[in-house]
Amino acid sequence: MANDPAPAVRMGRPPATSHDELERIGLELFTTRGFEETTIDEIAGAAGISRRTFFRYYTSKNDLVWGDFDAELSRLRERLAATPPSVPMMAALREAVVAFNRVDAAHVALHRRRMALILGVPSLFAHSTLRFTGWRDVIAEFVGVRVGRPSTALLPQLVAHAALGCAIAAYTDWLQHEDAALEPLLDEAIAELATGFAGHETSAEDEVSAGHDVSAGREVSAGHGADAS
Amino acid sequence: MANDPAPAVRMGRPPATSHDELERIGLELFTTRGFEETTIDEIAGAAGISRRTFFRYYTSKNDLVWGDFDAELSRLRERLAATPPSVPMMAALREAVVAFNRVDAAHVALHRRRMALILGVPSLFAHSTLRFTGWRDVIAEFVGVRVGRPSTALLPQLVAHAALGCAIAAYTDWLQHEDAALEPLLDEAIAELATGFAGHETSAEDEVSAGHDVSAGREVSAGHGADAS
DNA sequence: ACACTAATGACACCGGATGCAGAAAGGAAG
DNA sequence: CTTCCTTTCTGCATCCGGTGTCATTAGTGT
């Protein structure tokens, strides 16, 4: 289970291309002509391989945009596992997610294009749920360990889903502002999550400093008794 | 904008079926044979219409599972808009989401089957992102009004994404337990979100009363890391 | 009977994806 | 060089979801 490193000499017919090259060609075509408008035949043609061969490298057109995401997920998993227990859960989560999404300055432009495709092309975004699930699983596992519950329990799943939502929202915001930096956005997003989005309402507690009468009960929780049926 | 009610007498060839009937037939076939295994031809055949006609009722196979979700979203939007400003934002959100997902006791079984399909079939879950986006937009709009920012700003999008995540997690949990009730799960999920998931860690502030020596991890978590790659 | 209208249905077509049966490109052994 | 073996590539047939087009059908109203 660990004899990968270099089988010395290769046997059989040598590969005509590589995952990396296909990814490069695909991203290039997608960003210029559009994702839906680019057919597999065009990508295969540009790479000098047949349509059928393309599918031996990537099982679907969508997978082209995500590199080997699973490998990166392992990174995230290890980083979370290595976080000392003294760091509070949400703080650890924030730190890990921010670090996970940190990209080398030279690759920022590429990352932007990639994420613009993923979050901007509806069908691509839809298909990405598989990857997102993998991401969430890593988070849920970490939270599960922290709270002493199986990762499938409600709370871990909750945090995982919410954290993913924050990450996507932060990314979307990042993509909308050409000059923005991703890191502070992600950091802010998870930080907000950890506070329960408190203190933002224009009319309520945020303004107590002005001596307002907060009036009608905060936390009213009115609609509760109705959970009849 | 309100001339829908009954054009008195119908003109032209009468429809051969209805959205409701197709939805019924589709759900039936999906739950028995499986979603992927059921072809459009089978559904159309069972409904006594042609393949082409099916696509005039529903633009895709996936849409069959979601009824006219947009109509329901209007309900949610109105409910949120009608909430008095005295109710705190997250409380209002919680109440609205819970109420939105309340289903008549007679339809619980159907709702379960529908949601089991949506959340259980990968391709269906993936395609549902469109619907989820609509749902999030309603939430973001409400939050935007509450915090006095455009609904496209980071915070509203953040809350919307996180809330959606909570709802999905709650639904998933609900589906995993045959006898569970959806409402308290949803309520708990959004309530947790509003507190930032605080006070759950076994090793930290939650357990100070017990004075344990946390050290050698309870819940060793050993069995977890085994799923390596 | 005739026009009008709305829905259906048959057909062709596209593009993504899969299964299968070889062909092609190399190294290794004779 | 020839043969064998291994691995990858390719062409072909097929399936399925989805769309555009156009004739056909089943009704209503005159």
What does the pLDDT look like over B194-216, one tens digit per residue? 998 888 887 544 444 444 443 33
- In strand C, the nucleotides that come within 7 Å of a protein beta carbon are 4-12, 14-20, 23-28
In chain B, the largest separation of any two C-alpha atoms, in whole Å, equals 80
* B219, closest residue in chain A (CA to CA): A148
Q: Of A112-121, B8-17, B40-49, B130-139, which range is least confident?
A: B8-17
**Residues 39-58 of chain B sitting with CB below 7 angstroms of strand D:** 39-41, 51-52, 55
pLDDT in tens, B84-135: 999 999 999 999 999 999 999 999 999 999 999 999 999 999 999 999 999 9
Highest mean pLDDT among A189-198, A218-227, B17-26: B17-26
Q: Is A59 in CB contact (< 8 Å) with chain B?
A: no
Does the pLDDT value for residue A142 go beyond 90? Answer: yes
Looking at residue B198, what is its pLDDT?
A: 86
pLDDT in tens, A44-66: 999 999 999 999 999 999 999 99
- How close is the nearest chain B Cα to the Cα of A105, in Å? 24
Q: Do B162 and A223 touch (CB under 8 A)?
A: no
State both tokens at A92: 């650890």
Q: Are A204 and A217 in contact (CB under 8 A)?
A: no
Helix B182-195 with B89-100: angle, nearest 10 deg: 160
Residue B125: list chain A partners with CB under 8 A. Answer: 129
Looking at residue B8, what is its pLDDT?
A: 60
Q: Do B89 and A220 touch (CB under 8 A)?
A: no
Does the pLDDT value for residue A202 go beyond 50? Answer: yes
Helix B89-100 with B154-176: angle, nearest 10 deg: 40
pLDDT in tens, A81-140: 999 999 999 999 999 999 999 999 999 999 999 999 999 999 999 999 999 999 999 999
Confidence of residue B191 (pLDDT cuts 50, 70, 90): very high
Q: Do A162 and B95 touch (CB under 8 A)?
A: no
Confidence of residue A227 (pLDDT cuts 50, 70, 90): very low
Does the pLDDT value for residue B57 go beyond 50? Answer: yes
Q: What's the CA B16/C1' C2 distance, rounded, in angstroms?
A: 25
Burial of B4 (0-12, 13-18, 19+ CB in 10 A): exposed
d(CA A88, CA B200) in angstroms, rounded, equals 10
Does the pLDDT value for residue B67 go beyond 70? Answer: yes
The SS3 call for residue A1 is: coil
For residue A130, the one-letter residue type is L
Looking at residue B201, what is its pLDDT?
A: 80
d(CA B59, CA B62) in angstroms, rounded, equals 8
d(CA B144, CA B155) in angstroms, rounded, equals 8
The SS3 call for residue B121 is: coil
Q: Do A161 and B169 touch (CB under 8 A)?
A: yes
pTM of the model: 0.85
Confidence of residue A175 (pLDDT cuts 50, 70, 90): very high
For residue B93, the one-letter residue type is L
Burial B20-44 (b: 16+ CB within 10 A, else e): ebbbebbbebbeeeebeebebeebb
Q: What percent of chain A has pLDDT over 90?
A: 79
Does the pLDDT value for residue A209 go beyond 50? Answer: no
For chain A, helix, strand, coil in percent to 5 are 65, 0, 35
Phi-psi region of A188 (alpha: psi -120 to 50; beta: other; left: phi over 0): alpha
For chain B, helix, strand, coil in percent to 5 are 65, 0, 35
